[in-house]
Amino acid sequence: MIRTRFAPSPTGFLHIGGARTALFAWAYARRHGGQFILRIEDTDVARSTPEAVQAILDGMAWLGLEYDEGPYYQMQRMDRYKEVIRQMLAAGSAYPCYTSADELEAMREAQRSRNEKPRYDGCWRPETGKRLPAPPAGVLPAVRFRNPAEGVVAWHDLVKGPITIANAELDDFVIARGDGTPTYNFCVVVDDWDMKISHVIRGDDHVNNTPRQINLFKALGAPLPEYGHLSMILGDDGQKLSKRHGAVSVMQYQEEGYLPEAVLNYLARLGWSHGDAETFSMGEFCSWFDLDHITASAAQFNTEKLNWLNAHYLKQADDSRLATETLRRLAGQGVDGSGCADLPRVMALYKGRVANLNELADAAHPFIVAVHPSPELLAQHLSDPVRAALRTLLAKLLDANWEAPALSQAIKETLLQHGIKMPQLAIPLRVVLLAQPQSPAIDAVLEVLGREAVCGRINSVLV
């Protein structure tokens, strides 16, 4: 049974990189008929917040990344961690360390000044024939893992291929703090073991944790999972993403009017490919997804391509779904569009012309409430001959058969009578009706706007 997991720490929103990691882990499980588990890694009590947990859950839900198990919370598994730590202490694969934070910092500083890799010096590590210092009074020791001193840790990474790291590069890392709470590298291993995770799919930033975790698995006598490390996502500008620079919540994409299927499709193609396939459903994605076609190098985020995908999915989106979205966005602006029965028709008219849901809502606005073109706009477009033509048109519209072909006919007759060309009438008409000189085909706009609004708005500029 393939079991993958997504294990975010609740110290902030679900950002785009985390979302892609979750997507790939989710897709891998789906592809192989396996299970996808959500685990909240909240052992950093100082930085974890319930708001962040909720933000992560919201982000997953919006994207439709459903999990088969969880969410598990590490803070609820303390007893299990402490039990394992006791066992390791008893077995000698872990030991108490009384070095203080200040001493560690001084140690690292000295090492850095000598251009050495900063690391714990192992002074409390028990060795046969070695005399350990006397434990200082009143100090609660941290617990360190007794990492093998020699040899190498090697694994075949599912996306990067063979990776080898010498144990000499690794120091004895802390698995439990002075207060007894376990730390990340330790909890991950116990959890992945207990939860029977078969494939650990996670970000590139964990490559250097992997050998430590593998050594822990071995010390525990636990079976090793497979590992696959996804490269990072860089910002639009090629710079790395951070909370301060460019990293935004997936929920912000929702606010900005992106459809979840567009974000998902974009993320899927960022670092993964299936030949020339550019647009595909999540069903297709799950049936195609494999780790062999993941790029091993970092990928730069490209908002313009996301925009294109969003426009693509907007064109295919169901009109009533778009109407619901539009209503929600309009309500956010204090506009109640619930009385507009023709909203789906407005959506049909505009969904092929906009890049996001906010633009769609803006476009729908004049169909719901009367617009007031600025005096400048009116002055620019409403000359006396135009007013005369509008007067003629208004008379025709008052008793026209209210369907696009008949409306188009009325406009063409007006054009003929006044000896003007289509743009000379259509553009002022757009300004009068919608307060902007561009719109979809004018007869379609008239049809959807309705006789009352059209005639009323024309009349209001003629009096």
Q: Return the residue of 138, 161, 283, 334 that touches RNA, per CB under 7 A.
A: 161
Angle at 76 between CA 74 and CA 78, to 5 degrees: 80
Angle at 31 between CA 248 and CA 295, to 5 degrees: 55
Q: Looking only at residues 271 through 310 of this chain, which bind RNA when binding is defined by CB under 7 A?
A: 271-273, 275-276, 278, 292-293, 295-300, 302, 304-305, 307-308
Residue with tokens 């077995």: 91
Q: Return the residue of 370, 398, 422, 462 that touches RNA, per CB under 7 A.
A: 422
Using an 8 Å Cβ cutoff, are 241 and 15 in contact?
yes
Q: Return the residue of 53, 57, 89, 163 that touches RNA, per CB under 7 A.
A: 163
Cα atoms in the 13 Å half-sphere on the side-chain side of 432: 28
Residue with tokens 């071995």: 218
Q: Return the residue of 54, 100, 252, 338 that touches RNA, per CB under 7 A.
A: 100
Answer yes or no whether residue 43 interacts with RNA by CB under 7 A.
yes
Answer yes or no whether residue 459 interacts with RNA by CB under 7 A.
no
Using an 8 Å Cβ cutoff, are 39 and 67 in contact?
no
CB of residue 339 to RNA, shortest distance in Å: 26
Interface stretch with RNA, choices 81-89, 108-116, 191-199, 220-228 (CB under 7 A)? 108-116
Distance CA 331, CA 337 (A): 7
Q: Tokens standing for 348? A: 């049909």
CB of residue 338 to RNA, shortest distance in Å: 27
- 45/341 with CB nearer RNA: 45
- 114/130 with CB nearer RNA: 114
Q: Return the residue of 232, 291, 382, 461 that touches RNA, per CB under 7 A.
A: 232
Distance CA 363, CA 251 (A): 23
Distance CA 458, CA 84 (A): 79
Q: Tokens standing for 361? A: 């809502």
- 117/321 with CB nearer RNA: 117
Q: Return the residue of 113, 128, 401, 438 that touches RNA, per CB under 7 A.
A: 438
Answer yes or no whether residue 418 interacts with RNA by CB under 7 A.
no
Q: Looking only at residues 16 through 35 of this chain, which bind RNA when binding is defined by CB under 7 A?
A: none
CB of residue 4 to RNA, shortest distance in Å: 17
- 1/94 with CB nearer RNA: 94
CB of residue 176 to RNA, shortest distance in Å: 8
Interface stretch with RNA, choices 168-176, 333-341, 377-385, 451-459 (CB under 7 A)? 168-176
348 CB-contact burial (10 Å; exposed 0-12 / middle 13-18 / buried 19+):
middle
Q: Return the residue of 113, 129, 133, 164 that touches RNA, per CB under 7 A.
A: 164
Answer yes or no whether residue 237 interacts with RNA by CB under 7 A.
no
CB of residue 332 to RNA, shortest distance in Å: 24
Q: Return the residue of 240, 387, 391, 396 that touches RNA, per CB under 7 A.
A: 240
Answer yes or no whether residue 262 interacts with RNA by CB under 7 A.
no
SS3 for 262-327, per residue? HHHHHHHHCCECCCCCCCCCHHHHHHHCCHHHECCCCEECCHHHHHHHHHHHHHHCCHHHHHHHHH
CB of residue 212 to RNA, shortest distance in Å: 8
- 115/128 with CB nearer RNA: 115
Answer yes or no whether residue 96 interacts with RNA by CB under 7 A.
no
Q: Return the residue of 4, 183, 265, 326 that touches RNA, per CB under 7 A.
A: 183
Distance CA 62, CA 251 (A): 8
CB of residue 380 to RNA, shortest distance in Å: 13
127 CB-contact burial (10 Å; exposed 0-12 / middle 13-18 / buried 19+):
exposed
Give the total of residues touching RNA (CB under 7 A).
Answer: 93
Q: Looking only at residues 342 through 371 of this chain, which bind RNA when binding is defined by CB under 7 A?
A: 352-354
Answer yes or no whether residue 93 interacts with RNA by CB under 7 A.
no
Displacement of CA 261 from its chain's centroid (Å): 11
Answer yes or no whether residue 261 interacts with RNA by CB under 7 A.
no
Q: Looking only at residues 128 through 157 of this chain, which bind RNA when binding is defined by CB under 7 A?
A: 141-142
Instruction: Please spell the DSSP secondary structure of 158-203, one letter per residue.
Output: TTTEEEEEEGGG----EEE-TTS-B-HHHHHHHHHHHTT-SEEEEE
Q: Looking only at residues 377 through 406 of this chain, which bind RNA when binding is defined by CB under 7 A?
A: none
Residue with tokens 């020791």: 141
Using an 8 Å Cβ cutoff, are 58 and 251 in contact?
yes
257 C-beta neighbours (distance < 10 Å), count: 20
Interface stretch with RNA, choices 38-46, 52-60, 251-259, 333-341 (CB under 7 A)? 38-46
